[in-house]
Chains A and B, each alone.
Chain A
Amino acid sequence: MPVYEHYSDEQLAVAARDDDNGAWEALIRRHGQRLLAFYTRMSGDESLARELWVQAWGELWKLRGTLAGGGKVATAMFSLAARTAVRVAVTGNLRPPQGDPSSLEVRAERLRQALVAVPPRSRAALCLCYLDSLPYDEAGRCLGCGAGETKQLCADGYVALAQHLGPGFLDAGLA
């Protein structure tokens, strides 16, 4: 029984190309949270994000040959997710959540609503570069643009996000 945690993404992708279910499961566990967070931020709906997440792994299974050919798993994963998320992006319910404004749940819901209000491409760039710490060039590949445009999209998204959150959103808590 191989210890998949010690393998790199490329090694797991090669094993998955050869129909190694264990390697594929290890890839899912390794990158699953990042992908689900991205879908949640992009869609603003956790249930929709989970559904998209499951479908995304089915689509990625078809691309496992490409992954094994040298492509980065994270890049391929977020490329697919960005295309899907931009296509299915919803505006969501922008009604402010009720409850204690300083609670984590209320602040998370407000952040989610603010993200949904950001334009999709800027939102995608913001999620990839700012929240998920992807390099600009890789994020650019995911979005189909260059690194400079990605940086600009990310900055525009951050400004829009800060405006939707309003001043003092993070003053009370984490800041």
Chain B
Amino acid sequence: MTTNDALLFMDLDRQGDQDQGTLFDEPRRRLSRDPSLRSGWAQYQALRALAWECAPEPGERMVRHALQQTRRERVQGQLARSTGSDDMAREILLGRVKHRAGVPAWIWLLLLIASLGFGAMAWHQGLIGPDPSGDAAPAAKGGDDTVSFEFPAQTEPAQAALSAPADVSGVGAAEAAGSEDVKHEDSASRQARRLLREELHQADLRAKQPKATPPGPIQAPRAVVAQRPGRPSAAPDYGQTTSLQAELMAAPTDASVQAPTQARPVAASVASPTKAAPPAPMLVPTAAPPQAPPAASQASGASVGQDASAGAGPPSDQAGMALDSNDIVVGGRLRATLTLPEAKAVDLRLFDISGKAVLTIADGPAGPGTVIYAVDAKDDNGQPLGAGTYYLRVMTAWFSRVEPIQIH
């Protein structure tokens, strides 16, 4: 068989598809005249029939494989669009992608657990708490080196005292549970320190702006920003106040005290000194001869003496306060000596462990010179102070200080 014969068969084979009229007449005549071509044409048709007879058919399994391949291509296409690389998508489908080298998940889990444990421990120790700086006065907001300080613990008597209005009934409610206060002294004392720090901070601010802010009732701030000891400070230096805060923050804690369960803003529960009645047991300081003994007790049980000449007080670096004793028996007398360079406002109060001002000893101008205050251990209502821990706070234009007083 030649190529021309093959072309003849193919042209004849396409006759049914393309009716070309007389174009195939001559080949058809050749095919009818030449017997060899007739057998060739027959084989031509028979070969095609055999080819189709033995052609395989795709089974259902193959169709499923093809559909699976289609789905694979679809997923690979999506992966290629996601990863931006066909090779990467192929490697992902083949499972050849290496795991990203990094820290195993269990290490991250371990670090997370450790962080949570450390946080819980710090919370119990009162080292951390909600950030109160958002409510603090603008002047109290320091730089980055100031840390927020929140008083976390609220015992039942402290809560009663804090939730009660700042009047005598609140003091009574707090005293009603005096034994509980002793039990939870640590948490309550922290609150007292916090309140004291707030007021000390306000007093310092007033002292730095004496003209703009005339002496008046102390407005307790809603929050306090404490200075962390040992860190450089960009905030104003409050002198003794700062050191006292550091001292108070470093006070030992009682291990038996229960863990605090909640934090509570202090602002709403601060016993506002502005509502305090005029200090009944206190006498207005009067000039006294040098080296004079303390004035005699008044009927209210308070006395005050001054040891200085008018207008000739000690230097300002000698200003300070001294207590005869920090331990007083119930019904005893409290004696504090103030050294004041000039005659300026003095605020001397006694606070209980819940932060309530139970006794206002001095709230007005005093000095210059040495002023001695001696009062009976009674509150503003004349009731004897019960046993427990109290804090004596003095605020002057030169210094502010807090001294713990223990009444047995």
Binding site for B on A (CB under 8 A): 19, 21, 24-25, 28-29, 32-33, 36-37, 40-41, 46, 49-50, 53-55, 57-59, 61-62, 104-105, 107-108, 111-112, 129-131, 135, 151-152, 154-156, 158-159, 161-163, 165, 169-171, 173-175
Contact = CB atoms under 8 A, between A and B. Distances in A.
B63 A29 contact: yes
Given A108-B54, A155-B10, A170-B47, A53 B3 contact: no
A37 B70 contact: no
Q: DSSP class of B's interface residues: helix, strand, loop or mixed?
A: helix
B385 to A, nearest CB: 85
B329 interface: no
Contacts of B53: 104, 108
Contact of B55 (A37, A152, A171): A37
Interface residues of B, number: 37
A36 B6 contact: no
Q: Which 4 A-B pairs have the closest CB atoms?
A: A108-B54, A174-B46, A37-B55, A58-B69
A130 B12 CA distance: 12
A9 B2 CA distance: 38
Given A29-B63, A131-B51, A155-B6, A37 B46 contact: no
Contacts of A32: 57-58, 62-63, 66
B30 interface: no
A21 B69 CA distance: 12
A169 B62 CA distance: 33
Contacts of B56: 33, 36-37, 40, 46, 49-50
B55 A158 contact: no
Contacts of B255: none
Contacts of A156: 3, 6
B43 interface: yes
Interface in B33-75: 39, 42-44, 46-58, 62-63, 65-67, 69-70, 72-74
Given A50-B62, A129-B10, A159-B1, A175 B70 contact: no
